[in-house]
Amino acid sequence: MTQETKPKQTREFQAETKQLLDLMVHSIYTNREIFLRELISNASDAIDKVRFESLTNSALLEGNSDFEIFLVPDETTHTLTISDNGMGMTYEEVVENIGTIAKSGTKAFLAKLKEKETSPDQELIGQFGVGFYSAFMVAEKVTLLTRAPGEARGIRWESTGDGTYTIEECDKEQRGTTIILTLKEEFRTGEENFLHTYTLQSLVKKYSDYIRYPIKMNFTKEEQPKDADGKPIEGSDPIQTVEVRILNSMTPLWAKNKNEITREEYDSFYKDMFHDWENPLEIIHSKAEGTVEYTSLLYLPARAPFDLYDRDATSGIRLYSKHIFIMEKCQDLLPDYLRFVRGLVDSPDFSLNISRELLQHSKQLKLIGKNLEKSVLKTLENLLSKDRPKYESFWKEFGQALKIGVYSDYQSRDKLKGLLLFPSSHSTDGLTSLDEYVGRMPEKQKVIYYATGKDRSSVERLPQMELLKEKGVEVLFLFDRVDEFTIDALQEFKEKKFQSISRGDLQLDDLESPEAKQDAESLSKEHEPLLQAVKEKLSGKITDVKISSRLKSSAVCLVSDNNGISLSMEQILAEMNKAPFKASRILELNPHHEVFAALKKVYDADPSAEAFTDYCDLLYTQALLIEGILPDDPIGFANKVAKLMAYSEK
């Protein structure tokens, strides 16, 4: 029977791959040695795959279950070869995996680069694994030979990273993948010589020590021949012998005792496994025995990945059973608000071929999940109380996830509220917890005040802040768009309700002198007809007009009542195209401001004159602008201001 062979083809890389290769060739990384880690990690993944699938289909092993990764440096051909007896790839898989970039992360990386239009910095690169392509940092030519189990023939793929590659069928006896790197001159002669066994040995120790399969290399030994008594024979030529050594210790890091692991080992394991360039912020390593038995190694990263809040991005914890990999991202182990936690769980209680469906219903999984959640929260509480700068740096990156947790996961509300931090008027640089805020509250203050806005300077200048500032009342500042939803969901903290400075009655009764209150009440009575007239002029735009007791030097402000949504929420919802939600708008006027006197004068002169209508409109639009809301008719507003300016010149 003649076998149809696929002829050698030269193909072009996908445009994005070319771009990535170009970056690799012109070296974006400073530490190019990581190429070895990337290729070994791919080899180990491929062995994981075949090992896992062979549990249900032993034929895949083709009688060879001595899993291994082999490194062969060759000075004569200037090549470094990395082989594995893993899953290999079919023709289609090579084209799919190696010629194109399927990973959305890498695509996003390239898009970000374009956006920046500068050379990429280490920080950006570190967020994205570049995997196989990193080989082109050190190699002038990469040859890949691979055969998937059960396939009669293998595939030979080759490229110099110039935009094209060749692909053809070839013979390959052993299942798996062999990658031959023809090293660039600088990496086979200079200081960084990747043909030196010593260099390779230490790189494996540094980056890949925990890899579960033996990483082997031949070592040539020279020995003086010995006589029958075991004494070296003088003057004889030394004999060379070759011995295979295993370069990695293979024990998974998490299986060792805590006191045997250095911080460096934890860090490099993390960076390697979770493709981060930065050391983690915090490490939680625990072993449990009892109702369930498991080891968990969790990390709080130092920085949020670019896609943390992307709905499509999957989070989750790696699952192992007796050191054997089961699943990449098990989502049922941690609640969604802890989606930033990276790590793994190894438990003998799981069977290797457990399906996702079964797993979801597994009692053990639920129990482990509960414990993990508890220990992450405990760690965060400890950080908050014992290492505030570290907690604040955590908060800066992941605080939003916890805030979202408060409003989207009502069961977790109580667990999370103590961990929340906000900027406040108390200090210009630090953040405050709700506990700290309540601790500083004077006895007479009944509620926790908060103000929403885009940043500190705009919130501090809000007219609604004036009175509170004067009274020295602390106000929480909510700059993040999720903040108000979080506060709304909480409703209260330690029996103190939250009160927006832009909503309803400020409840300052106990802080306010009885005279001031009286003053506002009598002024409201006195100006009742004027207030009524303004309300009518602005009907449809506002629900009420009131004499303000919160304004000191500003003329006007907009507030909403205590029911329904607030003005800032209205804006967020409008951006989300949920326009039907409208906040009630109450216009508050400062009776002690000269604009109020001018308004009164115009009204007294002729309430039906155009001037009074214009004044009402101008006041309303000013109040909108202060809230950062554009008026419906900016041209009309500008014309009215111009008219007024020209008038005052007369």
Binding site for ligand ATP (CB under 6 A): 38, 42-43, 46, 84, 86-89, 97-98, 129, 131-133, 177, 275
CB 250 to ligand ATP: min, Å: 18
Smallest separation, CB 99 to ligand ATP (Å): 10
CB-nearer residue toward ligand ATP: 24 or 46: 46
**Does the annotation list 399 as a binding residue?**
no
- Least gap, CB of 349 to ligand ATP (angstroms): 28
CA distance 290 to 366: 15
The answer to the question of whether 250 is labelled as a binding residue is no
Q: Which is nearer to ligand ATP, 207 or 603 (CB)?
A: 207
Residue (of 262, 261, 264) closest to 279 by Cα position: 264
Of 272 and 483, which CB lies nearer to ligand ATP in the complex structure?
272
Choose between 88 and 405: whose C-beta lies nearer to ligand ATP. 88
**CA atoms 618, 551, 426, 473: torsion sign:** negative
Toward ligand ATP, which CB reaches closer, 54 or 524? 54
Rounded distance, CA 120 to CA 106, Å?
13
User: Which C-beta is closer to ligand ATP: that of 101 or that of 616?
Assistant: 101
Nearer to ligand ATP, 51 or 275 (CB): 275
**How far is C-alpha 454 from the chain's CA centre?**
22
39, 249, 397 from 198: Cα distances, Å: 18, 16, 40
Distances (CA, A) of 27 to 21, 35, 116, 214: 9, 12, 18, 30
Closest to ligand ATP by CB, 37 or 188: 37
Region for 491 from its dihedrals, namely left if φ exceeds 0, alpha if ψ lies in -120 to 50, beta otherwise: left
Minimum CB–partner distance for residue 107 and ligand ATP (Å): 12
147: helix, strand or coil: strand
Query: How far apart, in whole angstroms, are the C-alpha atoms of residue 253 and residue 64?
Result: 27
Of 22 and 392, CB closest to ligand ATP = 22
The CB-of-342 to ligand ATP minimum distance in angstroms stands at 14
Task: Give the integer Cα–Cα distance in Å for 418 and 426.
Answer: 18
In the complex, the smallest distance separating the C-beta of residue 169 from ligand ATP, rounded to whole angstroms, is 17
Quote the least distance from Cβ 276 to ligand ATP, whole Å: 11
SS (H, E, C) 206-223: HHHCCCCCCEEEEEEEEE
Q: CB of 168: closest distance to ligand ATP in angstroms? A: 18
Minimum distance, C-beta of residue 431 to ligand ATP, in the bound complex (Å): 35
Question: Closest CB to ligand ATP belongs to which residue?
Answer: 131
Q: Which is nearer to ligand ATP, 79 or 549 (CB)?
A: 79
CA 166, CA 12: separation in Å to the nearest integer?
9
> At its nearest, how many Å lie between ligand ATP and the CB of residue 94?
8
Q: Is residue 84 marked as binding?
A: yes
Longest dimension (CA), the chain: 128
Q: Residues with Cβ < 8 Å from 568, sequence gap 6 or more?
A: 452, 453, 484, 502, 627
d(CA 95, CA 597): 79
Closest to ligand ATP by CB, 177 or 400? 177
In the complex, least distance from residue 311 CB atom to ligand ATP, rounded to whole angstroms: 21
Tell me the DSSP string of 61-89: GTT-----EEEEEETTTTEEEEEE-S---
DSSP label at 232? Answer: B
Exposure string of 98-119, with b = 16+ CB inside 10 Å and e = fewer, is: bbebeeebbebbbeebeeeeee
CA distance 153 to 90: 9
Looking at the Cβ atoms of 275 and 318, the one nearer to ligand ATP is: 275
631 phi and psi, to 5 degrees?
A: -70, 155
- Cα distances (angstroms) measured from residue 355 to each of 330, 348, 351, 364, 424: 11, 16, 9, 14, 48
Is 459 known as a binding-site position? Answer: no
* Calpha distance 12→97 (Å, rounded): 14
- Least distance from ligand ATP to the Cβ atom of residue 146, Å: 6
Name 588's Cβ contacts closer than 8 Å, sequence gap at least 6. Answer: 545, 546, 547, 548, 550, 551, 556, 557, 558, 559
Contact (Cβ atoms closer than 8 angstroms) between residue 85 and residue 175: yes
Q: Is 356 annotated as a binding residue?
A: yes
The response to whether 128 counts as a known ligand-binding position is: yes
3-state secondary structure of 518: helix
**38 is known to lie in a ligand binding site:** yes
Is 235 assigned a ligand-binding role in the annotation? Answer: no
User: Binding residue per annotation — 422?
Assistant: no
Assigned token pair, 375: 């220990």
* Rounded Cα distance, 643 and 201, in Å: 82
132 marked as binding residue: yes
Q: Which is nearer to ligand ATP, 88 or 423 (CB)?
A: 88
Helical H runs in 11-133?
A: 15-25, 34-53, 91-98, 104-116, 122-126
Is the Cβ of residue 83 or residue 295 nearer to ligand ATP in the bound state? 83
Q: Are 156 and 168 in contact (CB under 8 A)?
A: yes
To the question of whether residue 105 is assigned a binding role by annotation, the answer is yes
| 564 neighbors 584 (Cβ within 8 angstroms) | yes
Q: How far is the CB of 133 from ligand ATP (least distance, A)?
A: 6
> Nearest distance from residue 41's CB to ligand ATP, in Å?
7
Known binding residues for ATP: 38, 42, 84, 89, 97, 103-105, 127-132, 177, 356
